[in-house]
Amino acid sequence: MSLLKTQVRELQNALATAIRSCGIAKDLAQGRKIHNQIADGEHRGNLFLQNLIIQMYGKCSRIDDAQAVFNELPEPNVFSRCILMQAYSENGDLGSAKAIFDQIPSHNVVSWNSLIAGFSQHGFMSNADEIFARMPRWSSSSWNSMITGYAQSGDLASATAMFDRTPEHNVISWNALITGYSDNRMIPEAKGVFDRAPGRDKISWNAMLTAYAQSGDLDSAKEVFDRTPQQDIVSCTLMIKACAVQEILGHAVEIFAAMPDRNAVSYSFMIQIYIDQGKIGEAENLSRRMPQQDPTLWTSMLSAYSRHGLVEEARRIFDRAARRDDEVSWNALLSAYAQAGHLHLARSTFERMPRHDVVAWTALIAVSGQNGQLEEAEVLYDLIPERDLVAWTALIQAYGVNGKLTESKRVYALMPERNRVSHTAMIIAYSQNGEVVQARKMLDTLPDPDQSTRTSMIVAYAQNGYIKDAREMFDSIKNPDVIACNAMMEAYSSAQMLDHAKAMFDSIKQKTLVSWNTMVAAYAQAGNLDEAKSIFDSIPHKNVVSHNVMIVAYAHNMDLAEARRIFYSMDEKDTVTWTAMVAMVAQHGRLAEAQELFAKMPYRNVVSWNSLIAGMASCGHGMAAVRYLYVMRNEGAKPDHITFMGILIACSHVGLVEEGWTHFTSMQGDHGLIPWREHYCRMVDVLGRAGQLGAARELLETMPFIPDVGAWGSLLGSCKTHSDVKLGTRAAESLLQFDDQSSGPYVLLANMYSSVGRVADALAVRNRMKARGVKKQPGVSLIRVDGVLHRFVAGEASHPRHQEILSELSRLQELMKKAGYQPDTKAVLHSILDEEKEVLLSYHSEKLAIAFASIACEPGTPIRIMKNLRVCSDCHTATKFLSKLLQREIIVRDGYRFHNFENGTCSCGDYW
């Protein structure tokens, strides 16, 4: 008899272990099998196992199943109710958790602690604090739950105060405080607590290792790892995570290979590094080598793929490994689409999910907001059965990114509880809408803003041009981590303060790939391709993003050959890679190649479509751009505000007035997109360029925005083209009210007077410029030959081959005149003879650059020029002649668009 009891007890323990494992791994399918096995066997009425089954369903986010098992219990005990309460709490349904608590006839410390833990885990610390105060007595778990809750919500002051009030500290108390400081990027404070802790255990060491790993301080992480008394699977995995943050593959491989045991998390971090390095094949090979396939692994791979826009790969993993009743896998796929901005795929995935928890609702709200679908985000929010702080915060972000700051503030004010993330979201919303002062006021009201919140303020200042304030905020951070340093470096880069950016870069001891990539991008955007390439070559471990930055850098500097070289040398490419390459070849007038690349893309998102449309628009292929809008819609992709910006530019550049009106009015009528100020300005440009100046003026005067520099500048340019002096004068005067120190309006107005023979008025404008001390911005053209960047300015003689260039220019002038070229002397304001005007025209910067290329480059090779100003009518005509005479393709990227000159014609069709 005793043997039978022993066997029954052993079977019970085995079943209990199996159920717990299913809950930890969120393996719902296996959990159901064990549940059915128990229901059909001799343990059917075992309350202990039934309670564990309730717990398993809760951890697998199957609340209905957990409730159903509870309902079948003949006599649930207090532990049954506590476990069900915990299941509701973990899944964000705190109202139901509280209702179960209230039904418990006699509360013990476990029930009180379960409710406190539920509220604190979701950031509702005022509720947790109220429950804590009502407890008749507290256990160490009560104190630790409160410390952990405050720390997780970012309120380290309250966490520390609670720690100080705790009558007796145990290792869990110390670890909670270490973890709290670590999670809030307060590494010195975490280290201080760690050093004071009297009895450190494995969790203490691993908490400190986690702190350094998350902050990217690989050297300190390695020091702690080496000092850890008993290195186990957790500490080894955390060290691999530290390598993952730094994306250092070699060291991670060594640690992984030396591990005696590995779990799903170890494999997940190794696979993450492979994916971050663009080594997709190695990642999938490693996943197949796992001794036992684990749902956690697939979720990790889905998330890693989504971070890099590898949506097809994420879907392939889901189809291969996920169970259709596993909410975790569904949520991972939905989050992958959401993070990549693929609204229609996220929406269709949401509709196919068997169940929706708060994670799914929140992900769809976020991606709807990112794509400008604010009404959809609002409807989704209203439909959420139980909202947590993440859902509230997602709505704040949706309003903020779509310019609805008042609504963001309203939602923030209504929140039942706020934490660090919600504070930061509101600061970002203020920043996105230009309210930097309000953003700072909010930060100043926080009792103890952490490094993460202060870093968001650095970004806010930088985005709005307040670099000095950004630096002051940076200096207020005690021991800034690499994330704060990267933000400050990005701030300097955005302001073209490259020396300061480089100094910040050099000061970072543990550079992450973000650090390296930011510095490469800074030099590239400033046109310093040599320095960008030098930094790129120095990156110890490049990833897909590193290569993408260089492709964009070459695109910015019109070096198509180098961009192609990098593109085709990459083992793995993400959506950004393909999109950048499509945009580049389209902008260079390589329409067939752009279409071919676009067709080969494994997956296209709205940014991909926008890049193709914008590339074609900027290069004069307006009809092709419009056709692709229809193809885009037929394939189920939803156009956004940026799509229609590209379409209106396309219509403007080729004179498609009716087409432009149709798409402009369809934005709100057919797509629910309220046109931005920029859309109105573009529509004014469409009408003005086509000569419909009256309609352009009427739209400008009736649009729901005060006309700004862009609107009046567009109208002035059109008036100059069509010689409407009266309206042009009004447009110029309106422009000068915004800024009378900008040379643009004066030059356009003077050119307009000159073009209709009103020389005295043109000279009067010029004298007005002189009196106000306004100087015309000189035209500057840049050309790269044999890796060296050459700079040409009209009238300057600083180039070492200046005399050779003038000689070649004279030769080319003669050839052009023989071919029928007539200089457009109306483009010159000076009161001088036409012969003298011709000489001035011949020395425009792009002509000097072309003459230099003619003598310095191999015959037949393309000539690529960047110019800071719009190409004048005479240079445009001359370049067409030169492209035919020299039998060369000449690509000019001026301040407005790309011009691709070939065999005497330009891609803009002379409509620019």
Least confident of 529-533, 534-538, 761-765, 906-910: 906-910
Q: Which of 371-380, 514-523, 614-623 has the highest mean pLDDT?
A: 514-523
Kindly give the residue spans of alpha helices, DSSP state H, lying in 655-702: 657-671, 677-689, 693-702
Q: Do residues 762 and 727 both lie within one domain?
A: yes
Q: Do residues 720 and 771 both lie within one domain?
A: yes
Question: What percent of the chain is predicted at pLDDT more than 90?
Answer: 19
Q: Do residues 886 and 810 both lie within one domain?
A: yes
Q: Do residues 770 and 706 both lie within one domain?
A: yes
**Structure tokens given for 64:** 């209905």
Residue 765 in contact with residue 736, Cβ under 8 Å? no
**Pairing outcome for strands 863-867 and 788-793:** unpaired
Stated pTM of the model: 0.60
Question: In CATH, what number is assigned to the domain containing residue 763?
Answer: 1.25.40
Q: What is the pLDDT of residue 370?
A: 79
Of 758, 777, 796, the one marking the end of a domain is 777
**Structure tokens given for 471:** 């630096």
Q: Do residues 807 and 831 both lie within one domain?
A: yes
The 8-class DSSP code of residue 526 comes to T
Band of residue 661 on the pLDDT scale cut at 50, 70, 90: very high
- What is the helix (H) or strand (E) element at residue 886, kind and residue range? none
Q: Give the model confidence (pLDDT) of 293-342 as tens digits.
A: 566 666 667 766 766 666 667 777 777 665 555 677 788 788 777 876 77
Residue for token digits 């092709």?
624
Of 745, 777, 809, the one marking the end of a domain is 777
Nearest Cα residue to 533 out of 554, 515, 558, 514? 554
Q: Is residue 857 part of a domain?
A: yes
Calculate ∠ Cα 580-343-646, nearest 5°.
45
Residue 311 in contact with residue 342, Cβ under 8 Å? yes
Band of residue 838 on the pLDDT scale cut at 50, 70, 90: very low
- Give residues with Cβ within 8 angstroms of 526, minimum separation 6: 496, 498
Predicted confidence (pLDDT) at residue 1 exceeds the cutoff of 50: no
Nearest Cα residue to 816 out of 900, 888, 862, 884? 884
**Structure tokens given for 367:** 């991606």
Q: Give the model confidence (pLDDT) of 566-618 as tens digits.
A: 999 887 787 788 888 998 887 776 778 888 999 998 878 788 899 899 888 87
Q: Do residues 785 and 901 both lie within one domain?
A: yes
Q: Do residues 898 and 795 both lie within one domain?
A: yes
Residue 668 to residue 644: CA distance in whole angstroms = 11
Band of residue 834 on the pLDDT scale cut at 50, 70, 90: very low
**DSSP assignment of 549-595:** HHHHHHHHTT-HHHHHHHHHH-S---HHHHHHHHHHHHHTT-HHHHH
Q: Give the model confidence (pLDDT) of 385-400 as tens digits.
A: 778 788 888 999 888 8
Residues facing residue 788 across a β-bridge: 785
Of 743, 760, 777, the one marking the end of a domain is 777
Mean pLDDT throughout 268-293? 72
Q: Is residue 891 part of a domain?
A: yes
Least confident of 64-73, 214-223, 406-415: 214-223
Band of residue 292 on the pLDDT scale cut at 50, 70, 90: low
Nearest Cα residue to 271 out of 292, 249, 255? 249
- Cβ-defined contacts of 268-272 (< 8 Å, 24+): 268/296, 268/297, 268/300, 268/301, 269/237, 269/240, 269/241, 269/244, 269/300, 270/240, 271/297, 271/300, 271/301, 271/304, 272/244, 272/300, 272/304
Q: Is residue 881 part of a domain?
A: yes
Calculate ∠ Cα 135-137-140, nearest 5°.
105
Residue 903 to residue 888: CA distance in whole angstroms = 7
Mean pLDDT throughout 446-475? 87
Q: Is residue 736 part of a domain?
A: yes
Q: Is residue 303 part of a domain?
A: no
Q: Is residue 841 part of a domain?
A: yes
Q: Give the model confidence (pLDDT) of 40-99 as tens digits.
A: 877 777 888 888 999 998 888 888 889 999 998 888 888 888 889 888 888 778 888 888
**Structural domain total, the chain:** 2
Least confident of 73-82, 230-239, 732-741: 230-239
Question: What percent of the chain is predicted at pLDDT more than 70?
Answer: 92
Q: Do residues 789 and 887 both lie within one domain?
A: yes
The one-letter code for the residue type at 432 is Q
Q: Do residues 787 and 828 both lie within one domain?
A: yes
Distances (CA, A) of 320 to 282, 302, 314, 323, 324: 17, 12, 10, 9, 11
Mean pLDDT throughout 625-638? 88
Neighbours of 468 (CB within 10 A): 10
The range of the structural domain enclosing residue 702 comes to 698-777
Radius of gyration of the chain (CA): 33
Residue 491 in contact with residue 461, Cβ under 8 Å? yes
* CA 382 to chain CA centroid, nearest Å: 27
The one-letter code for the residue type at 212 is Y
Q: Is residue 708 part of a domain?
A: yes
Q: Do residues 765 and 865 both lie within one domain?
A: no
Q: Do residues 902 and 853 both lie within one domain?
A: yes
Residue 571 to residue 280: CA distance in whole angstroms = 9
**Structure tokens given for 522:** 């800074």
Q: Do residues 790 and 707 both lie within one domain?
A: no
Q: Is residue 134 part of a domain?
A: no
Residue 204 to residue 172: CA distance in whole angstroms = 9
Residue for token digits 């009809």?
623
Q: What is the pLDDT of residue 832?
A: 39
Residue 541 in contact with residue 248, Cβ under 8 Å? yes
The 8-class DSSP code of residue 776 comes to P
